[in-house]
Structure 1
Amino acid sequence: MSMQQYKQEIELYFELKGTPESSRESYLRRIFAFINYMQNQHKCMEDVTDSDIQQYILYLKKEKGLSAGTINCYISAVKFFHTCIIGKEWDPKKIPRMKRIRKSPVIPPKQDVLAILNKAANLKHKAILALLYGSASGSEK
């Protein structure tokens, strides 16, 4: 199938489902990136294997340096294309979504916060700063 034929099938599916325009654009962009990658690997889309998709995900992670959240968006688009347009099975055990790493907030040392609070001349500003510090570090103290 040509790129134009894939696009027509994808757009038909989106129209039938009522997919919002912003989602359509995002999915199309990611699907075409996947198709281009596979074509550069000399792969026919109907012959793409789980291993090929795994290699694509590694490429996104290692070569492109994309975050786990962004890669998961690519995985969703590829899964849609692979299952709904190509009509193949998807094995989530072989093609898992990436775990997103949650970063803890950086809370400055207590003495630094007290120094800032002591420098605040306005009582209202001092109260706001104290409230913010207390709410951000409640479980960290």
Structure 2
Amino acid sequence: MPHPTLDASVSPLRQRLIDDMNMRRFSRETQRNYLRDIGRLATFLGRSPDTATSDDLRRFQIEQQHDGVPVPTMNSIVSALRFFFTHTVDRPDLARRLVRLAHPRKLPVVLSRDEVARLLNATTCLKHQAALSVAYGAGLRVAEVSMLKVADVDSERMLLRVERGKGGRYRNAMLSQDLLTLLRQWWIVGRQQGVMHREGWLFPDSMQ
């Protein structure tokens, strides 16, 4: 990730926060979320967030509850503020004052075989069928599917290499024989249409 350039529109405190996140190789999305959430505290205070007191943080969290802010959102804000107070302004005592709320996790809805078949057959586009099959069959997120490259398909070990997984981590996903066969069909069609290349994306945006 390129290092942001300090200019007159960026305060020294904000730049320090950005530098701290860059040093830890936070993703762009995480950086945007942290900047937004710390900005919420600044808006609540009406002043710079590094001037917050433990009582300010308590009032901030109480107001969030009264406003009906969802628990996952509140916990995400806590993560951002803990990072800010621990690493950027060196106030770990304030970070410890922030309370994370218990949040019961619901079990995901599992589709039946018929429902999966209807989902995959909802499109006649081979590219879309292959992308949906990868997402479902290999358990990948939409962003992970969109970032796959042809070289990420390891037919010898029957694996998919996911380079930009959650948290920016690398991982491997299992590749079934049926899914490999479908991807090979898409490779042939994509090559014929001139959109697939050995060093290119597995699902290039230019293909509709």
TM-score of the aligned structures, taking structure 1 as reference length = 0.61
CA distance in structure 2 between the partners assigned to 1:13 and 1:95 by the alignment? 20
Question: How far off its partner does 1:72 sit?
Answer: 0.3
Q: Please state how far the C-alpha of 1:6 moved relative to its aligned partner.
A: 2.0
2:56 equivalent in structure 1: 52
* 1:83 pairs with 2:62: no
Larger mean Cα displacement after TM superposition, 15-24 or 86-95: 86-95
Aligned-CA RMSD value: 3.0
2-structure distance, mates of 1:12, 1:92: 19
Aligned runs of 1:32-43 on 2, under 5 Å?
32-39=39-46
Structure-2 change in CA distance of 1:18 and 1:31 (3 Å): same
Q: CA deviation at 1:103?
A: 5.3
Provide the residue aligned with 2:104 in structure 1.
101
Q: Looking at secondary structure, tell me which structure has more helix per residue.
A: 1
- Encode CA deviations 1:105-138: one digit per residue, 9 max, x unaligned: 9xxxxxxxxxxxxxxxxxx97xxxxxxxxxxxxx
The percent identity for this pair of structures is 20
- AA of the residue aligned to 1:36: T
Gaps of 5+ in 1: 106-123, 126-141
Distance 1:15 1:104 in 2: 34
Q: Report the CA distance between 1:94 and its aligned residue.
A: 3.9
Distance change in 2, residues 1:22/1:75 (3 Å): same
Return the letter of the residue paired with 2:45: M
Q: Does 1:71 align with 2:64?
A: no
Residues in 1 aligned to 2:33 and 2:48: alpha-carbon distance in whole angstroms: 23
Q: Specify the code of the residue in structure 2 equivalent to 1:53.
A: L
* Higher strand residue share: 2
Letter in 1 for 2:58: Q
Structure whose alpha-carbon radius of gyration is higher: 1
Shift of 1:77: 0.7
Instruction: Give per-residue Cα distances to partners, 1:41-92, cap 9 Å, x unaligned.
Output: xx554442222111111111112x1111110000111111122112112367
Greater shift in the superposed pair: 92-101 or 75-84: 92-101
CA distance in 2 between counterparts of 1:12 and 1:93 reads 23
* Structure 2 residue identity aligned to 1:90: D
Q: Which has the higher contact order (CA 8 A, sep 6+)?
A: 1
